Amino acid sequence: VFLDLLADGTQQIVFIGPGFETPLVINNSALKSLQKIDTSLIASTPNINKDMLRLLTEIGLFSKEMIGEDGELTSAAKITEEYVMMNTDGSVDYEIIDLGNGKGRNVFKYDMDKIEKKVTPFINAEVAGLMSSEQDAVAAWNVYISKGTSEGEDAQMVQDANAGSSSWSYEEDLPLQQDKKVLFETKYKEYFMNNYLKQFITNQFPTVKEDAAVFDLAEAKKAKAQKFLDDNNLN
């Protein structure tokens, strides 16, 4: 432990030892700044993974039957058909994925505008809750949100989370300005959509057995072209 008097007149205490990967430095001026904005020296990092998994069950995209006894989505959970793209005749507007060797398969297309409108109020409420403790919000930003990483990558990045240029400083950035609050909300939504919701809107196969079968791409394209001609009276 070292106590130093700096050229600017402030004092800092430095802790070095096997328990610290890097020296822990505490400056008395920084402590005063934290005290003025009613924050503490140690900030707890919110359990973002737990919060996001809970949020999935609350946003209204899944039916109650898709939620297990543990309060989380089941392995068979699918977004309700209300958010599936439909044709004018009421049939499902599938996207066709190329499996190779001239074969294809249908997957659901989702109305992303409708999904985003549904999700946004829940995201805003979640962010408002985090912002009730801006110090914790900064911790969440530095460790998770600003990186935009998946849960698996997060665990590897915790140790150097404060090293990146995107990190926020407790001393300099608190209280958070409005532009940072808006940025946090935007990135929080991106984080949720990319790392949690995306798996439920990517390559989701039809529940109807006939529509889920593998088919010949050339025949499917021919049938689709014929349907267009029929629908528009172009025969």
For residue range 69-124, what is the model confidence (pLDDT) as tens digits? 999 999 999 999 999 999 888 999 999 999 999 999 999 999 999 999 999 999 99
Residue position matching structure tokens 């990092």: 45
Contact at 8 Å (CB) between 82 and 62? no
Q: In terms of domains, do 119 and 224 share one?
A: yes
113 within domain boundaries:
yes
Does the pLDDT at position 130 exceed 70? yes
pLDDT score recorded for residue 88: 87
CB burial of residue 155 (10 Å; 0-12, 13-18, 19+): exposed
CA 141/CA 147 separation, integer angstroms: 8
How far is residue 98 from each of residues 92, 203, 216, measured CA to CA in Å? 18, 11, 10
Of 27-36, 49-58, 80-89, 198-207, the range with the lowest mean pLDDT is: 27-36
Range of the domain at 10: 1-36
Q: In terms of domains, do 32 and 103 share one?
A: no
Q: In terms of domains, do 11 and 50 share one?
A: no
Q: In terms of domains, do 6 and 116 share one?
A: no
124 three-state secondary structure: helix
Residue 161's pLDDT band (boundaries 50, 70, 90)?
A: very low
Percentages (nearest 5) of helix, strand, coil residues in the chain: 45, 15, 40
